[in-house]
Amino acid sequence: MSTPHNEAQTGDIAKIVLMPGDPLRAKLIAETYLEEAVCYNTVRNMLGYTGNYKGKRISVQSSGMGVPSMGIYSMELYRDYDVDTIIRVGSAGAISDSLSMGDVVIGMGLCTDSAYVSQYDLPGTYTPVADFGLVKLASEIMEERGVSYQTGVILTSDLFYTDEKDAVAKWKKMNVLCVEMESLALYCNAVRLGKKALTMLTISDLPLRGEAMGADERRTSFTVMLEAALRLAEKADV
């Protein structure tokens, strides 16, 4: 059954999905790592592929940029295609001084400036968190590989450009590790639908120091994170 945003049919998508924002990164992952990869979606150029990784069926689906786009694509994967687990693989800007370019961050919990949670009409403030089993397994994989990583709280922001110069820096006092633009919708949708989610990020920007990777480097230099995420997908109980 297709949706307005995805032409995949029932059974085309695996139970576990790696989800980069960039469609070309999805294509790169599929062509580099998956055997017998088949493209199941080209609608709006939000490319999606299913193939085999070391004998396990895995899909890769691009989400686009920002909370609204992630909200659409993750909701449809969970609800309409019965996906069990989504692992977001993306880039982030460091907030903590302890992070360097290329470091990996596992998003255990979230804070945000987005209004996405308001749809649930809750009588307080909700803090989305990742699936603990995925956090634990991802951390073990990073330890095994000797990779520089941190696990903790990340910021999902609706604003890439903002009038307030110090907006990102203000989160540093609460030990927020980094900022990205999608995970809030992913974690909320997962919890609401009884599914699993995790975000793994590579630091591509140091906004408080004025440093950033170029567009091509962002797409191609995340090998350490991607291979750890694929290992996670392989080992996850799905």
Q: Answer for the pair 238, 198: CB distance below 8 angstroms, yes or no.
A: no
- Residues catalogued as catalytic: 205
**pLDDT beyond 80 at 168:** yes
pLDDT band, very low/low/confident/very high, at 238 (cuts 50, 70, 90): confident
Task: Provide mean pLDDT across the span 25-35.
Answer: 97
pLDDT at 126 over 70: yes
pTM score, two decimals? 0.96
pLDDT band at 152 (very low <50, low <70, confident <90, very high): very high
CATH fold label, 16-235: Rossmann fold (3.40.50)
Average pLDDT over residues 96-125: 96
The two most distant CA atoms of the chain are separated, in Å, by 49
Write the DSSP assignment of 109-161 as a string of letters: EEEES--GGGGG--SS----B--HHHHHHHHHHHHHHT--EEEEEEEE-S-SS
Q: Domain boundaries in the chain?
A: 16-235
In this prediction, residue 220 carries a pLDDT of 65
